[in-house]
Amino acid sequence: MKDTFLYRLVKEDKKLFSLLIALIIAQLFFTYKGVETFPFVHWGMYSGTVAHSDTQTVYQLAIGGQNIKMSTLTDCEQGMVLNTIKKYNSMQIANGKEKEEVVIDERFSHYVRAETLAEIKSKLLNSKKSISKYPAWLMEYVADMRMLTNTTISISKSKLIYTKEGAITISSPTTLCEYNAE
């Protein structure tokens, strides 16, 4: 017992020992409440069940009428393009409301004033105005990435539907947005 880190720490630095114990207790409390804090991850975060779906959404980006082959982008570029398109689409569907807003309301509404809560949301969440700016931002990002001269961009999505027989049905593309920088 005398060779343990905590025993030696309590003998040499009681303040640091107290701080460490307080941090351990706080982390145990966060774990009990289900709040994920880095670097501690929950078992369910990586081991939860994945919902089965027979439908998959596929996004297509076209510049100057020519489809961009996503596999030609680096992993970083592909992640930035596809994840922001997914976020843009989900915000369009939800009429500009983010799912994170519910989490902020649940965690802070009982502890802070309404004005403070509104300020927290304005700093952390996208606004409807930022949704309308997204196509221009994406055009600039892709243009910087590929050094393009064409100034038109189009984003569309299709649904791939898998049948029990193994066939795939592809829905007609739905245009999410079109943008012309000229």
pLDDT at residue 69, as a whole number? 87
**Rounded Cα distance, 20 and 23, in Å:** 5
pLDDT tens-digit series, residues 114-124: 999 999 888 88
Q: Indicate the SS3 state at residue 176.
A: strand
- Alpha carbons 147 and 99: distance in angstroms, whole number: 34
Instruction: Place 156 in a pLDDT band, splitting at 50, 70 and 90.
Output: very high
- pLDDT, average across residues 127-149: 80
CB atoms near residue 143 (< 10 Å): 16
Question: Are 153 and 67 in contact, with CB atoms under 8 Å apart?
Answer: no
To which H or E segment does residue 31 belong?
Answer: helix 14-33
Distance of CA 151 to the CA centre of its chain: 27
Q: Report how far residue 130's alpha carbon sits from residue 118's, in angstroms, rounded to the nearest whole number.
A: 17
Beta strands in the chain (DSSP E): 55-63, 66-67, 152-162, 168-170, 174-180
Q: Shortest CA distance to 154 belongs to which of 92, 86, 67, 82?
A: 67
Which residue bears the tokens 């922001």?
Answer: 84
23-36 pLDDT tens trace: 999 988 888 877 77
Beta-sheet pairing, 152-162 with 168-170: antiparallel
Q: Is the distance from CB of 158 to CB of 60 less than 8 angstroms?
A: yes
